[in-house]
């Protein structure tokens, strides 16, 4: 057999070396070497399958498995030397395997292509790593729920349009974040179920001519089944988009936590304080203590959406089957993945460390936050809701911050008598943030009983 053209691997077809610029830009090993363990695992399963169906001998299989173990050790110890000619992790492993065991290495790639190999590696990696992400989500929910238990009876304003809306509680606010992340946990579990088809053996584009046993490799690698269609499998990155979709949603939630912490710890609000270890200084202003971590949650949480959009747009216009465009998938996935895990850890330490300023929270629950309670109280007394809404709106206008005073004025101006008017006015005058909180009745509300129920559900979800 003649050697490859100098300066080129897979060189039988080519008469000259690859242009250095193409070689450099085509090289993906810096990114995909992260998949080395999965690549070796996939190759071992493939070698066993090849022997099972008689495409290689038992001796060749054993030589391959032994060689793969040796390469594993080098990669694990960090003694594996990547060469400039190693285009990707698949070629690097095959090259090194050849150096270690010689001839049998030349049979390993029988019946497979890098197109099915690379996706097999990524899916194996995801199946290995998703439990770690799940653990981060669980730890974050646990932190939220632990703090929520302390805050069930601590009034704080809820907002719409960042305008004070109703009296809520610290517990309800924390459970709101936890409830959203509990949804992400369900999404992750469903996702894991969806990543269950093994690409290995799909070949380059439309399958191959050898009697492979794809079910055997699928099972050996822990998948539920071989993938259905070789062309779709090798030419699509739908699974990665699915994962990036989850990371995007997690990022959206974390970004909102970050924004709220930035606002809440600003002295103008003063709802929470962050410890020194979660704040940074200013190079010029000596007094500053800035919530950089919360800001990075806010900004970093948005970036997975960019990676999702990037991969979606790269894959959207492609012809069926593999195109090199797909090679960019892993950099996007890993960037989003690593950042999301860091941000989850960052969010968890923030939640653990928050100091709530109960006095400031209570002071922010002004008299107008009784408005809906008052309207609902009038409904219970027999007023149609729209009439109650109008009357309380008038009270807010007349009272200019003093709702009880305004209510008296509004009653006086009201055309028809309001049932229980005097009793309701007296109840309103005696109302407190704690009273408003305790009076909340609906399921899912900030009422203490509701929040305790939410906490119990959330604890069940994270298995506590």
Residues 6+ positions from 237 with CB-CB distance below 8 Å: 119, 311, 315, 326, 329
Q: Which two tokens stand for residue 205?
A: 């584009």
Task: Report the C-alpha gap between 425 and 411 in whole angstroms.
Answer: 9
* Binding string, residues 273-312; x marks residues near ligand ARG by CB under 6 A: ----------------------------------------
| Eight-state DSSP code of residue 159 | E
Using CB under 6 A as the binding rule, whether residue 322 contacts ligand ARG is answered as: yes
Judged by CB under 6 A, which stretch of 149-157, 170-178, 322-330, 452-460 contacts ligand ARG?
322-330
Q: Which of 19, 190, 282, 299 is catalytic?
A: 282
Q: Which is nearer to ligand ARG, 116 or 260 (CB)?
A: 116
Residue 155, strand partner residues: 169
* Binding string, residues 174-213; x marks residues near ligand ARG by CB under 6 A: ----------------------------------------
Residues that bind ligand ARG (rule: CB under 6 A) add up to a total of 9
Task: Report the C-alpha gap between 124 and 126 in whole angstroms.
Answer: 5
Q: Which is nearer to ligand ARG, 141 or 200 (CB)?
A: 200
Residues 6+ positions from 169 with CB-CB distance below 8 Å: 151, 152, 153, 154, 155, 156, 437, 446, 448, 451
CB of 303 to ligand ARG, least distance (A): 22
Task: Report the C-alpha gap between 205 and 313 in whole angstroms.
Answer: 22
CB of 29 to ligand ARG, least distance (A): 8
Q: Which of 2, 161, 283, 313 is catalytic?
A: 161
CB of 204 to ligand ARG, least distance (A): 7
Task: Report the C-alpha gap between 233 and 228 in whole angstroms.
Answer: 8
Describe the chain by its helix, strand, coil percentages, rounded to 5: 65, 5, 30
Q: Does residue 313 have an active-site annotation?
A: no
Judged by CB under 6 A, which stretch of 73-81, 178-186, 320-328, 432-440 contacts ligand ARG?
320-328
Task: Report the C-alpha gap between 34 and 334 in whole angstroms.
Answer: 9
Task: Report the C-alpha gap between 256 and 22 in whole angstroms.
Answer: 42
User: In angstroms, how far is CA 408 from the centroid of its own chain?
Assistant: 51
Chain positions 384 to 403 lying near ligand ARG, rule: CB under 6 A, are none
Task: Give me the residue label for tokens 């996939």.
Answer: 42
Residue 197, strand partner residues: 225
Using CB under 6 A as the binding rule, whether residue 326 contacts ligand ARG is answered as: yes
Is the backbone of residue 294 left (phi > 0), alpha (psi -120 to 50) or beta?
Answer: alpha
Q: Which is nearer to ligand ARG, 14 or 385 (CB)?
A: 14
Task: Report the C-alpha gap between 464 and 458 in whole angstroms.
Answer: 9
* Binding string, residues 74-93; x marks residues near ligand ARG by CB under 6 A: --------------x-----
Using CB under 6 A as the binding rule, whether residue 239 contacts ligand ARG is answered as: no
Using CB under 6 A as the binding rule, whether residue 43 contacts ligand ARG is answered as: no
* Binding string, residues 98-127; x marks residues near ligand ARG by CB under 6 A: ----------------xx--x---------
CB of 241 to ligand ARG, least distance (A): 15
CB of 80 to ligand ARG, least distance (A): 17
Q: Which is nearer to ligand ARG, 30 or 189 (CB)?
A: 30
Q: Which is nearer to ligand ARG, 264 or 322 (CB)?
A: 322
Listing DSSP states for 222-234 in one string gives T-SEE-S-HHHHH
Using CB under 6 A as the binding rule, whether residue 315 contacts ligand ARG is answered as: no
CB of 317 to ligand ARG, least distance (A): 17
What are the backbone dihedrals phi and psi of residue 226, each rounded to the nearest 5 degrees, phi first? -75, 150
Alpha helix positions (H), 7-113: 20-26, 29-32, 36-52, 58-77, 89-101
**Residue pair 300/254 in contact by the 8 Å Cβ criterion:** yes
Alpha helix positions (H), 275-384: 292-316, 329-353, 358-363, 371-380
CB of 158 to ligand ARG, least distance (A): 48
* Rg of the chain, C-alpha, whole Å: 31
Q: Does residue 255 have an active-site annotation?
A: no
* Binding string, residues 397-436; x marks residues near ligand ARG by CB under 6 A: ----------------------------------------
CB of 179 to ligand ARG, least distance (A): 38
**Residues that bind ligand ARG in the complex, under the rule CB under 6 A:** 28, 32, 88, 114-115, 118, 322, 326-327
Which positions are annotated as active-site residues? 161, 282
């Amino acid at each position: 057999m003649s050697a490859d053209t100098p300066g080129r691997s897979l060189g039988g077809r080519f008469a000259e070396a690859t242009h250095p610029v193409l070689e450099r830009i085509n090289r993906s090993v810096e990114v995909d070497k992260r998949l080395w363990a999965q690549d070796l695992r996939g190759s071992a399963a493939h070698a066993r399958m090849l022997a099972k169906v008689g495409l290689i001998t038992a001796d060749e299989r054993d030589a391959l498995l032994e060689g793969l173990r040796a390469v594993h050790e080098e990669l694990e110890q960090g003694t594996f030397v990547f060469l400039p000619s190693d285009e990707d992790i698949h070629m690097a492993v095959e090259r090194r395997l050849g150096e270690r065991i010689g001839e049998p290495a030349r049979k390993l790639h029988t019946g497979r292509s890098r197109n099915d190999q690379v996706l097999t590696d990524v899916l194996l990696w995801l199946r290995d790593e998703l439990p770690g992400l799940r653990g981060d989500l669980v730890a974050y929910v646990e932190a939220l729920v632990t703090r929520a238990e302390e805050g069930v009876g601590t009034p704080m304003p809820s907002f719409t349009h960042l305008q004070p809306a109703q009296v809520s509680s610290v517990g309800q606010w924390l459970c709101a974040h936890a409830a959203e992340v509990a949804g992400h946990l369900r999404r992750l579990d469903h996702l894991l179920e969806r990543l269950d088809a093994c690409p290995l053996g799909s070949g380059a584009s439309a399958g191959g001519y050898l009697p492979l046993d794809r079910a055997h490799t699928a099972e050996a690698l822990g998948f539920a089944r071989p993938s259905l269609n070789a062309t779709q499998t090798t030419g699509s990155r739908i699974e990665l988009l699915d994962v990036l979709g989850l990371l995007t949603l997690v990022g959206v939630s974390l970004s909102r936590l970050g924004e709220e912490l930035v606002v809440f710890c600003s002295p103008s609000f003063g709802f929470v304080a962050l410890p020194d270890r979660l704040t940074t200084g200013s190079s010029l202003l000596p007094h500053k203590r800035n919530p950089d971590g919360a800001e990075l949650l806010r900004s970093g949480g948005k970036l997975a959406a960019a990676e999702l959009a990037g991969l979606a747009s790269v894959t959207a216009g492609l012809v069926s089957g593999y195109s090199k465009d797909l090679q960019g998938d892993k950099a996007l996935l890993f960037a989003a993945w690593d950042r999301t895990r860091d941000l989850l850890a960052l969010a968890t330490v923030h939640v653990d460390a928050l100091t709530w300023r109960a006095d400031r929270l209570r002071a922010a629950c002004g008299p107008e936050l009784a408005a809906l309670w008052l309207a609902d109280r009038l409904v219970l007394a027999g007023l149609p809701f729209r009439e109650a809404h109008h009357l309380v709106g008038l009270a807010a206008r007349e009272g200019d911050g003093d709702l009880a005073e305004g209510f008296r004025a509004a009653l006086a101006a009201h055309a028809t008598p309001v049932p229980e008017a005097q009793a309701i006015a007296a109840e309103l005058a005696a109302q407190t943030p704690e009273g408003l909180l305790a009076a909340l009745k609906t399921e899912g509300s900030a009422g203490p009983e509701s929040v305790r129920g939410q906490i119990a559900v959330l604890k069940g979800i994270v298995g506590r």
